[in-house]
Each structure stands twice: as C-alpha cells, then as structure tokens.
Amino acid sequence: MKQRKSFLIACLALMMGVFFYACKPSDAKVQKEVNDKLSTAAPGVIAEVKDGVATLSGEVVDEAAKTTAEDAAKGVKGVKSITNNIMVTPPPPPPPPVVINPDDILRNSVDSAFQAKGITGVTATVANGEVTLTGTIKRADLKKVMQAANEIKPKKVNNKLTLQ
C-alpha cells in the first residue's frame, strides 16, 4: 500500500513536470515576441533566444536606447536573462566651421573678380570679412557687380553704389 502511494506520487510529480515543461514557451516563440517588441522600442536591434537567454545585437544612437531595448526584452514572458551586445554608435563629427577669408584675400579676390568681368568704377573695401562697394555704375550692371562680390563668400556685402 505504501509502495503504491509512493508510486502514485512519483507519477503525479512526473506528469506535473511534463505538464510544466510543455507549457514553457518555445525559444522560437519567445524570439519572435522579443523581436516584435524591439521593432518598435529599438529599431535596428534584433534578438536571438536560446534556452530562454535573449542575446541582443545591433546599433543604437545612445545608452538610453540600449537600456530601452534591454527593458523591452526583459518584459517578454519566457526570457530568463539578457545578453546585451548592442553597440552604441558614436555621434557623427560636427561639420567643419565656416571659413571666412581674411580681409587681404577678400580684397584681392573681389578686385580680381571685378577685373575678370570687366567691372570698372567700383571700389571695394574690406573690413572684418565685410565688403563695402562704393562708386558709380549703370543700373544694368548692378546684378553683375553684386554677383561678383558675393562669389568670393564674404560675411556680408554692403552696397553703397550710386546708380546712373
């Protein structure tokens, strides 16, 4: 009688073990759920799941996004632990500063541009990267003069020209 009771308890324990093991979600199902969550929480991150361990990989822009991805994966039923292999990419370097030509170079450049385009009667002075145009020109030549002055890329062109 005692043996029979022990045998029944052992069978019951075995059946419960099989039942609980069968109820455990498969790695493939857990992986799909983790990747579904990651697609919205941390685009660019993917997970592989083996024996309930989710291994995260991919690239994100900052530590906050890396943490968000890990938290999203932790929230999926069936994930026992996380291996976080996500790389944080460094930010791109800042753009180079705008280089403004020194005054002497600007003055020589504007004089050369005027000479090349046949512009006469215009004097260009340069101070602190700003070109100031003085002189008398025909109204029809104003556009050509302003284009030539702006092509050298000064900070500003001050038009003090007198039009005929």
Compute CA 156 distance to the chain's CA centroid, rounded to the nearest angstrom.
33
DSSP-assigned beta bridge partners for residue 122? 135
In this prediction, residue 135 has a pLDDT band, given cuts at 50, 70 and 90, of: very high
Residue % of the chain over a pLDDT of 70: 84
Of 151, 85, 88, 80, give the one whose Cα is nearest residue 114. 151
Answer CATH for 103-163 from 3.30.1340.30, 3.30.450.20, 3.40.30.10, 3.30.70.100? 3.30.1340.30
Domains 25-88 and 103-163 share a fold: yes
Over the stretch 81-92, which tens digit does the pLDDT of each residue have?
999 999 999 888
Q: Where are the alpha helices (DSSP H) in 24-154?
A: 27-41, 63-74, 103-116, 142-151
* pLDDT per residue as tens digits for the range 15-61: 655 555 555 678 899 999 999 999 988 899 999 999 999 999 999 99
Fold of 25-88: Histidine-containing Protein; Chain: A; (3.30.1340)
Domain ranges of the chain: 25-88, 103-163
